[in-house]
Chains A and B, each alone.
Chain A
Amino acid sequence: MVESKQQWKAWLYLAPAIVLLLIFTVWPIINTVAMAFMEDYSGLAKIGGDASFHFGFGNFVKVAQNAEFKQALTNTIFLCLITVPVSTVLALLIAVALHAIKPLQKALQTIFFLPYVTNSIAIGMVFAAMFNVIGSVGTRRPLISSYGIVNDIIRFFGGNWVNWINSGSDYWANMFVLIVYIVWNALPFKILILLGGLTSINKQYYEAAKVDSTPRWRVLTRITVPLLSPMLAYVVITGFIAGFKEYTSIVGIFGESMGPVHEAHRLNTMVGLIYDSLASNNQGRASAAALILFGIILVVTLINLWVSKKRVHY
């Protein structure tokens, strides 16, 4: 509206952001893509990295052939496929329940949001403590002083204790602990978004359903879920994206070894793999792995969008 001849003024306001973005966002995009195709290259020129390289798909081949890559991909996909639906359904139920009550609503809402404002490494350590067995596990005659609170609860109800995360623990037991922690961590954001969606649904639909004496369950499946579908699509898509980038939850519980003592790296994920390559000064392989991850996320997001286009009612 105001006609300013001083275009440079706008650029002055933009300058700090643009300079920083050029260095730390634009250049990395170009460089990382380039490095992915440069074999035997290290980007660390100053500290004596080898500058010789040749172009090719070698990095991608190496990443794909790496046994740990297959393990990491399996872990990541498995975690996504379980945690996203479980946390979404749980969050939906909690959000609908929260929406249906008046007293205590605010207090409960606050409690359910609490896990969001936590440090995932720190609380991961708490989960480890809860599942940990103190004593000599995995030996012939285990000598145990404490089974950990989770096992104590299981034993209280007459079950057998499980070696969740200690040396000699089962892969599926590890995965179960991770799933519990990731779901616990993912709930608050989903509840917040879904509850926001619920409050924006016009009350008249519910009044109409009441007039027709629609049972509660039918109201949920036939009215709430369809009307909430844009929000559901949103939390599922962001859930998948976050799921594919899972890393710190595992560091929190298992430490940087990414696995129980007897089998480190067993629980590594895609992101973990990228940082491993980086730590071993293999920029090309890290770049290739990052591009593969980007590709997977893109494909999964597109599939999600494609599915939701058919199912989501806007």
Chain B
Amino acid sequence: MKIVLQNLTKIFPSRNKKSHEEVVAVNNFNFEIPDGKLIGLLGPSGCGKSTTLYMISGLQKPSSGKIFFGDDDVTELSTENRGIGLVFQNYALYPHLTVKQNILFPLQNLKGKDKLDKDTMLNRAYEAAKLVQIEQLLDRKPSELSGGQQQRVAIARALVKMPRVLLLDEPLSNLDARLRLQTREEIRRIQKETGITTVFVTHDQEEAMSISDMIVVMKTGIVQQIGKPQDVYDDPANLFVAKFLGTPPINVFSGRVKGGTLYIGGDAVMDIQTVADQEVTVGIRPEGFVLDDNGPLKCKPTNVEVMGRDVSIVSTHDASLNPLVRSIVNADSKIDIGSEYVRYAVKPHKIFIFSKETEERIYFEVK
């Protein structure tokens, strides 16, 4: 089932009664989510990603715009008629019901021709439990389960009615680091097995990057970029996206283009002839640095962190907009921390320049 969001906009009236300022939570969102894909809505808190999810679910109504499931316009359809499964951040399991009763709950609501007999319901519940591997926990109460197990029950409850669309709200945020890794693989597996179009919301870029087929990066209600995770990472549309994706984060410098040459501070880093002279912001991915004794970029090293395969060099540069410049280089490289400067060459496809005013990407060609 593909999902189409058309000019989707949500405006909340101001909470403060005196000022009539409205809050635009989602602004003119257009996107066609392909059938059977796993989509991550990504952004800092308050960016409108959860509101978007709730509008898809029908729990909130858009101020304007339309939502289609396949070819059906579901904008005016109430939640229960949309055939969605929703997993809440805190799971929202009914605490007084056992795991089995929780999973059965949505099926017991079916009416009319959709009504199921008892055996079918039990079978379906068991299937769903098996899919998320909790079939041995069916008679427990939610309070007797670990966070990860509760999460699985919540997913089973969302899946048991065979939804057209599965929605996950911050599915991993309540889990500890190790479980998070495990569970995100699990979500990926379940989504692949069921083939249900799935949308999930997260503020954790690593989480979104690792399992999504496509990610949508949002900021203050406006979609910044949509694409495959690697594409967005390699080709960010603006400074915000470049900064939001990647660990360790991108290094940002203030620079300028003059006479076809890109300068960072006093260092002439690269020839880029297609760009007009202007002040720019320069982003360099940590892995974009190459140690080179004759490299153009001169930084003062402060520290070297060895992380197994890689080595991270921490240094400073006068033009850096962050306190430190962090590069990741091959562990085989010889690093002399005692020297005054560490000199880098820069990989051209790992360096991005952005307009200082609009923060939009300025594309260039390397000669």
Contacts and interface: CB of A to CB of B under 8 A. Distances in A.
Q: Do A and B come from one complex?
A: yes
Interface of A: 1-3
B157 interface: no
Nearest to A3: B61
Nearest to A1: B59
A1 B79 CA distance: 13
Contacts of B45: none
A1 B60 CA distance: 8
Nearest to A5: B61
Contacts of B60: 1, 3
Interface residues of B, number: 4
Contacts of A1: 59-60
Contacts of A2: 59, 79
Nearest to A2: B59
A2 to B, nearest CB: 6
A1 B58 CA distance: 11
Contacts of B79: 2
A1 B51 CA distance: 11
Contacts of B59: 1-3
Which 5 pairs between the two chains have the least Cβ-Cβ distance? A3-B61, A2-B59, A3-B60, A1-B59, A3-B59
B113 to A, nearest CB: 26
Interface string B242-264: 00000000000000000000000
A1 B86 CA distance: 15
Nearest to B59: A2
A2 B58 CA distance: 9
Nearest to B54: A1
Contacts of A3: 59-61
A2 B60 CA distance: 6
Nearest to B79: A2
A2 B59 CA distance: 6
A4 to B, nearest CB: 10
7 contacts: A1-B59, A1-B60, A2-B59, A2-B79, A3-B59, A3-B60, A3-B61
Nearest to B61: A3
Interface in B45-94: 59-61, 79
B67 to A, nearest CB: 15
A175 to B, nearest CB: 52
Nearest to B60: A3
A9 to B, nearest CB: 13
A96 B61 CA distance: 57
A9 B59 CA distance: 17
A272 B131 CA distance: 71
Contacts of B61: 3
A6 to B, nearest CB: 11
A1 B61 CA distance: 11
B54 to A, nearest CB: 8
A214 to B, nearest CB: 41
A310 B60 CA distance: 49
A1 B169 CA distance: 15
A6 B87 CA distance: 26
A277 B79 CA distance: 60
A2 B79 CA distance: 10
A132 B195 CA distance: 86
A3 B58 CA distance: 9
A182 to B, nearest CB: 42
A2 B61 CA distance: 9
A3 B60 CA distance: 6
A3 B59 CA distance: 7
A111 B59 CA distance: 52
B125 to A, nearest CB: 26
A157 B22 CA distance: 82
A3 B76 CA distance: 12
A78 to B, nearest CB: 51
A2 B55 CA distance: 11
A116 B61 CA distance: 52
A293 B60 CA distance: 51
A1 to B, nearest CB: 7
A140 to B, nearest CB: 73
A8 B79 CA distance: 20
A1 B59 CA distance: 8
A3 B11 CA distance: 13
A152 to B, nearest CB: 56
A7 to B, nearest CB: 15
A184 B61 CA distance: 60
